[in-house]
Amino acid sequence: MSPILLDGERLTLADLERVARHEEAVALDPAARPQVSAARAVIEEALAAERKIYGVTTGFGPLSDVFIGAADRDALQRNLVRSHAIGIGDPIGEAETRATILLRANVLAKGYSGVRPEVIDLLCDLLNRQVHPIIPERGSVGASGDLAPLAHLALVLIGEGEARYQGERLPGGEALRRAGLAPITLKAKEGLALINGTCGLTAIGALALNRAERLIKLADVAGAMSLEALRGSVVPFDERLQAVRPHPGQIATAWNLRNLLRDSEVNESHKDCGKIQDSYTLRCIPQVHGGVRDALAFTHETVARELNAATDNPLVFPESGDTLSGGNFHGHPVALALDFLALALGGLCGFAERRIERLVNPQLSELPAFLIKDSGLHSGLMVAQIAAASLVAEARVLASPATVHSIPTSGNKEDFVSMGWLAAVKAAQIGDLLAAILALEFLCAAQGLDFLRPLRPGRGVLPVYEMIRRHVTHLEVDRSLRADLDRILV
C-alpha cells in the first residue's frame, strides 16, 4: 500500500486514525520538498547575515533578547530540547504518541518552519518502524504549544530520551539503533520547530473526537433500545417536528431513530395505550443527541483545520524571505473546541444514565424490579445504575472547562495560556466514561427487551440486541457482571 504523503495541506482525521491506530506508512510528499528546502534556505541566509531572529540567533521566551553567536547555535537547539523535556506522569498511549509524531511531521512538511527535509524524514521513519518516544501525560499548558511533551519526542530524534520499540522501553539512541535509524544533529531553528505548536493536544483531541463520532451513533442505538424496552412512543421522532426546528444534529438523530425503530412489533403492541408523553430522556433524544452532534461538528471543523495549520514560531515565508514571529503556537482555538467536546460528552453521559435508571426502577417502568425475575433474592442490574452514576459524577468533574484556568508562565512572557492539553486529555477521558455508560445501558436495555419477547423490536434495534445476546446471556440469577460488560464495552 502506498504511504500517506505529508505536505501540510491534505491530512484528514481519517488519515490520522489510520496512522495512529493501524500503523499505516507515511512519507514526506516529494512535491513538498522544494517548499521545505526554500524555507530552510531563508534560515541559512539569515544565519550568514547574522540577523537577529527569535529562537535562531536568540534565546527563548523571556531570554529572547540574548544574542547567540554562531559557534553556539547548534548547542542552543540541543539545550532547548533537553531543558524543556520535563513532562510528568505515565506515558500517553501508543495511538496518541503516533498521532503526535504524525502531526509534527505534517506541520513541518507545510514548509514554513525552516527545518531540513531530513528532520521530517526521521519523524516519518519513527512511525514506519514503530519507534514510539515516551511522552509523559502531564506538563503542557498548550502555549507556546505543547513544549514539554514535544521535547520528549524531539529527544529521541537526537538519540536521547526514551522510546518503546518492539515491546521494550529503551534509551532513545538504542531504540533508534535497533530500528536501523541514526540520530540527527539539530541545526539552527530545528529544535524550536520540533517543540513549538499544538501537535500534542491536537493529536489527543483528534483521536478523542474520532471516537466521540462513533459513540454518538451508538448512543442513538442504545437510546432506541431503551425506548423499546420501556414501551416509549415514536411520535416525537416524526419528521414534521424536526422540520420546524431545523438543527442539523436534531434532524439526523430523528432520522436515525425512525430507521432503528421501523417495523417494531413492540411499538405496535402499545400504540393505543393512552400514554400521552414519555420522559425527556426518551422523548428528547433528537434534541439532546442532536445538540451533541452539532457540538461534534463544530469540533470536527476546528480540529480538521488544525491538522494542516502552521503552528510553529517564528514562521518562515520563502516567497518574501521574511521570518515572522507571532502566536500560531497558541492552543486556544482548539482548546475551546475540545472543552466544548468534553461538555457535550459529559452531558450525554448523564442523559444515558437516566435511561438506565428508568430501566431498572420498577416505579418508572413496567419491567421487573432491577430487571430480574426474582428480585429480592436477586439484585439483578441494580448496581449497573450505581456504577453509571459514579461514572457520570466523574464526567461532570472532567467537563469543567480547562481554558478558563490560565496560569502565566515563562517570566510572564506567556501571560495567558490555553491549557489545551488538559482540555484534550479530559475530553478523551470522558469518552472512556461514556463508552462504559453506554455498555451498561445496552446490558440493561437488552435485559428489558427479554421480558417483552416474543415481540420483536425495530429493524435497527433487533440485530444489535441479537449481537449482545450472542455474547451475553439473559440474567436469570445473580452473577458477576464485569465479564458481561467487558464483552460489549466499545
182-205 pLDDT, tens per residue? 999 999 999 999 999 999 999 999
**Residue-wise pLDDT tens digits, 367-401:** 999 999 999 999 999 999 999 999 999 999 999 99
Q: Could you tell me the pTM of the whole model?
A: 0.96
Q: What is the rounded distance in angstroms from the CA atom of residue 199 to the CA atom of residue 196?
A: 9
* Confidence (pLDDT) at 307: 98
- 3-state SS of 378-400 is ECCCHHHHHHHHHHHHHHHHHCC
Question: b/e per residue, 44-77, with b = 16+ CB within 10 A?
Answer: eebbeeeeebbbbbebbeeeeeeebeeeebeebb
Q: If you average pLDDT over residues 68-95, what whole number do you get?
A: 94
Q: Where are the alpha helices (DSSP H) in 85-198?
A: 94-109, 117-128, 147-157, 172-178, 190-195
- 3-state SS of 246-298 is CCHHHHHHHHHHHHHHCCCHHHHHCCCCCCCCCCHHHHCHHHHHHHHHHHHHH
Q: Please, which pLDDT band fits residue 64 given cuts at 50, 70 and 90? A: confident
**Residue-wise pLDDT tens digits, 280-296:** 999 999 999 999 999 99
> What amino acid positions are annotated as catalytic residues?
54
* Confidence (pLDDT) at 60: 79
Q: If you average pLDDT over residues 420-438, what whole number do you get?
A: 98
DSSP-derived secondary structure for 300-349: HHHHHHHHT----SSEEETTTTEEE---TT--HHHHHHHHHHHHHHHHHH
Please state, for a pLDDT cut of 70, what percent of the chain lies above it.
100
What phi and psi values does residue 427 have, to the nearest 5 degrees?
A: -60, -40
**Which set of grid coordinates corresponds to residue 365?**
417502568
**Residue-wise pLDDT tens digits, 396-426:** 999 999 999 999 998 888 899 999 999 999 9
DSSP label of 402: S
Q: If you average pLDDT over residues 66-77, what whole number do you get?
A: 89
What angle separates helix 117-128 from helix 33-48, to the nearest 10 degrees? 130
DSSP-derived secondary structure for 46-101: HHHTT---TTTTB-SGGGTTSB--GGGHHHHHHHHHHHH---EEEEPPHHHHHHHH
* Confidence (pLDDT) at 110: 98
Three-class DSSP category at 135? coil
DSSP label of 170: E
With residue 5 as reference, give the H or E element that holds it: strand 4-6
The region of weakest confidence among 30-34, 52-56, 132-136, 237-241 is 52-56
CA proximity to 388, closest of 485, 249, 265: 485
The one-letter amino acid at 72:
D
Q: What is the mean pLDDT of the chain?
A: 96
Query: Above 90 in pLDDT, residue 275?
Result: no
Q: Is 240 exposed, middle or buried (0-12, 13-18, 19+ CB in 10 A)?
A: exposed
Q: Which residues pair with 145 in a beta bridge?
A: 197
Q: What is the rounded distance in angstroms from the CA atom of residue 284 to the CA atom of residue 461?
A: 18
Query: Above 70 in pLDDT, residue 480?
Result: yes
Question: b/e per residue, 280-312, with b = 16+ CB within 10 A?
Answer: ebbbbbbbbbbbbbbbbeebbebbbebbbbbbb
Number of residues in the chain: 490
CA proximity to 435, closest of 206, 218, 207, 210: 218
Q: Is 25 exposed, middle or buried (0-12, 13-18, 19+ CB in 10 A)?
A: middle
**Residue-wise pLDDT tens digits, 304-332:** 999 999 999 999 999 999 999 999 999 99
CA proximity to 312, closest of 141, 144, 77, 186: 144
With residue 28 as reference, give the H or E element that holds it: strand 26-28
* Confidence (pLDDT) at 490: 63
Are 456 and 356 a contacting pair, CB within 8 Å? no
Are 210 and 21 a contacting pair, CB within 8 Å? no
With residue 30 as reference, give the H or E element that holds it: none
DSSP 3-state percent helix, strand, coil across the chain (nearest 5):
60, 10, 35
